[in-house]
Amino acid sequence: MPMSRTIAEGLLPRLRLRSIGRGRKGRQARYDREVEEALWRIWKVSEQPCGKRLQALLPQWLPHYEGEYGRLGKDRRSRVLSISAAQIDRLVAARKTRVGHRGRRGTKPGGLLKTQIPILRRALHSSRPTDSLHCALDAGKGPPTPVS
């Protein structure tokens, strides 16, 4: 079947890959699906820590995981316990994005929260002697003397 050179060049990479049967490049995966699933479940239950903290928590959480979901084999258990913090982050990262995990964030400043916190302003502008004693104590002048 006659064809032009540009069409043949376009088909060539597809034909070459099919005929060679190349798979994935790089090292073979060290952690299988079961190890990844164990990490994911422990990560969710342990309040979603970063990889470095989860690595330190794994020896404490793994017995509870095995009690709930069944024992891991010796090989898988040793892999879970020897995994690095960076590898934990890489394995959990894909699922984090699907779940919509955004990290730990505290309360952001805003007017609504400020109005809900009561502040006693009268103590700041009071001329009572107890207020000056508290100020003297805070300033490091020693214990207050009783006022009569």
Q: Look at residue 115 in the predicted model and tell me its pLDDT.
A: 73
Query: For residue range 10-57, what is the model confidence (pLDDT) as tens digits?
Result: 777 665 555 555 666 788 878 888 999 999 999 989 888 989 999 999
pLDDT value at 129 more than 80? no
The predicted structure's pLDDT at residue 6? 79
pTM equals 0.53
* Residues contacting 30, CB < 8 A, separation 6+: 79
The structure tokens 């060290």 sit at 30
Cβ atoms within 10 Å, residue 85: 14
pLDDT in tens, 103-117: 666 666 666 666 777
Q: What is the structure's pLDDT at 48?
A: 87
The region, left, alpha or beta by phi > 0 then psi within -120 to 50, assigned to residue 10 is alpha
Cβ atoms 34, 80 nearer than 8 A:
no
